[in-house]
Amino acid sequence: MPQLYSFLFLLLPWLMGCCGQAPSERCSNCEVFDKTVTSVPATLKPGIKELFFVSSPVNTIPKGAFFTNPQLEKIEFLKTTTNSIEAGAFEGLEKLTKIEISSAQLDSIPLGVFQDLTNLKTLVLKINNIQSLQRGIFDGLVNLKDLQLHINNITSIEEGTFDQLQNLEVLHLANNKLTSVSSSLLSELKKLKTIRFYDNELTSLPAGIFDNHQDLTEVALQNNKISDIQSQLIPHNEKLVKLFLDNNLLTELPPQMFHGFPVLKILTLHNNQLTHLPPNLFGDMPRLNELSFKSNNLTSLPLGGLGGLSKLRKLDLSDNKFEDLVKEYFDGLEKVTDLNLQKNLIKSISPDIFDKLKSVTTLKLSKNQLKWLPDDAFNSLPKLSKLYLDGNPWHCDCNLIPFYYWLDSQSSILKSQVKCATPESLKEKEIISLEEDDFIWPTTLPATTVLYTTTPVLTTAKTTTLPTTTVTVLPRAFVLVCFPPLTRAFVFPALSLLLSAL
């Protein structure tokens, strides 16, 4: 292996020199102009196929600039000061397959700039200051596959602008200032596979915008202001692999929105304002590995609603408004290994909640409202190896002692410090660093605790004739009763004696 790497390393300059990314003087069929060149030279090295201007102060690309070099296949202006291209700039270049003018200063593209370029496959105009696209500028580019217009300042696109790009597969319009798009904007782009609208200001998407696209594999709509979405937004989803909807203003999703996505691998919905999910939102998504609802406003999930996500490994529900968890939320999620519930309002956890999550290894419950937990809270998670419980208002009275013992016995899986919030005297003290007698008494018991008052237990314990039912609950009662330290000194040994006698 090391030999292979050093071999590749030696090859690297050659590879880069000839094949595009970083043009270098060594390239035999290309010519590179640097910052000393102020205009497109009248003559080029004979026969070259690729031409690069890097950081050159070339302001204008004039009409017919390359007319005497019809063999050119690739022309790139990178970080140049180019702010205007004349109509006919690339005329006569029938072999041209790629034009890139990026990190330059274009603010508009006149009609006729790209005429006759019937072999052009890639057109990159990213990182300029283009404000609008007018109908006709891309006409004739019938073989164009990849059009990159991201990181500009485009606010409007005239109807029909893309209509002749029948072979376009990638349209990259991210990072512009689009507030809306028309429903027919993409209607002629029947080969479209990838559409990127992220980082714009879209507030909605018109119905039918993706109706004619059978081959879509990626739809990127994140970082807009989309507040609602139709259920049939992407009717042909057989090939869709990536769907990005995060960082919008979605408050709800239509029922059945995610039915019939057999190969979807990435779906992002985090950073929206979802308050609930419809019961039938997800169908079978056998390829989906991760799902995040991080930073929404969810208070609940539909019961059994995630059941179709049979391959899901990571589920992120952090930064929402869950107060209570119900075990049916997790039906069908046997493969989930990472469950993130941090930054919610969870107050209690009963042991059966995680019954279905047999594969969970990492559980995050930091920053919730947990004051107390029973010592068997995580018993249904046999594979748990990383547990996060910090940032909860743990109440360190003697009711927490059983959980304290559990924590102590599980210190290897505990991945964050668990500190008391109350009482004041124990505030900020790490729970496992306490001694049993540090937990305060008297106290009010948490509502979920099985309550046994001191007196009845003592009485029953002292009479040797215990009904069987009482005996079976006794060990649990034993650990949940909150005794003052002195009483404990008597009661615990008495109970243990009694138990061992039984």
Ligand X SMILES: *[C@@H]1O[C@H](CO)[C@@H](O)[C@H](O)[C@H]1NC(C)=O
Q: Which residues bind ligand X (CB under 6 A)?
A: 129, 131, 153, 155, 251, 273, 275, 297
Q: Residue 485 corresponds to which amino acid?
A: P
CB-wise, 178 or 205, nearer to ligand X? 178
By C-beta, is 156 or 361 nearer to ligand X?
156
* CB 326, min distance to ligand X, A: 21
Instruction: List Cα–Cα distances, 390 to 161, 210, 297, 411, 426, in angstroms.
Output: 55, 45, 22, 14, 15
The residue with tokens 């994140």 is 222
CA–CA distance, 37 with 17 (Å, rounded to integer): 20
| Nearest CB to ligand X, comparing residues 185 and 298 | 298
* Cα 460-463-465 angle, rounded to 5 deg: 95
Nearer Cβ to ligand X (24/275)? 275
Look up residue 280 and give its two tokens. 């039938």
User: How near is the Cβ of 475 to ligand X at its closest, in Å?
Assistant: 43
Length in residues, the chain: 502
386 phi/psi in degrees, rounded to 5? -140, 115
Query: Which one, of 332, 386, 387, lies nearest residue 358 by Cα?
Result: 332
Residue 296 C-beta: closest distance to ligand X, Å? 8
Query: Please, what is the minimum distance in Å from the beta carbon of residue 200 to ligand X?
Result: 13
Nearest to ligand X of 217, 224 (CB atom): 224
Q: CB nearer to ligand X: give 276 or 358.
A: 276
Does residue 442 have a cis peptide bond before it, meaning omega lies within 30 degrees of 0? yes
Contact 152, 130 (CB under 8 A): yes
Enumerate residues 6+ apart whose C-beta is below 8 A from 408. 432
- Closer CB to ligand X, 194 or 200, in the complex: 200
Q: What is the DSSP letter of 430?
A: B
**Cα–Cα distance between 500 and 47 in angstroms, integer?**
97
Q: Which is nearer to ligand X, 122 or 132 (CB)?
A: 132
Dist. CA 226–CA 204, nearest whole Å: 5
To the nearest whole angstrom, how small is the minimum distance from the Cβ of residue 161 to ligand X? Answer: 17
Burial (CB count within 10 angstroms: exposed 0-12, middle 13-18, buried 19+), residue 432: middle
CB of 107 to ligand X, least distance (A): 8
Residue 377 Cβ vs ligand X, minimum distance, rounded to whole Å: 28
Strand 338-340 relative to strand 314-316, pairing? parallel
Taking the least distance from each CB to ligand X, the nearer of 56 and 272 is 272
Judged by CB, which is closer to ligand X: 273, or 487? 273
In whole angstroms, how close is the CB of 106 to ligand X at the nearest point? Answer: 11
Cβ 275 to ligand X, closest distance in Å?
A: 5
According to DSSP, the β-strands at 420-422 and 132-133 are: unpaired
Tokens of 274: 């979802």
Give, in order, the Cα–Cα distances in Å from 139 to each of 95, 102, 161, 170, 363. Answer: 17, 21, 8, 17, 55
User: How many Cα atoms within 13 Å fall on the side-chain side of residue 247?
Assistant: 11
Question: How remote is the C-alpha of 134 from its chain's centroid?
Answer: 34
Name which of 249 and 303 has its Cβ closer to ligand X: 249
Three-state secondary structure call for residue 338? strand
Please give the DSSP secondary-structure letter assigned to residue 326: -
Q: Are 355 and 382 in contact (CB under 8 A)?
A: no
Alpha helices in 50-174 (DSSP H): none
Residue 154 beta carbon to ligand X: minimum distance, rounded to whole angstroms: 9
The least CB distance from residue 272 to ligand X, in Å, is 9
> CB of residue 105 vs ligand X: minimum separation in angstroms?
10
Look up residue 234 and give its amino acid: I
Minimum separation from the CB atom of position 274 to ligand X (A): 8
Contact 399, 446 (CB under 8 A): yes
Where do we find the tokens 């059945």? Answer: 256
Q: Which is nearer to ligand X, 83 or 251 (CB)?
A: 251
Closer to ligand X at the Cβ: 274 or 373? 274
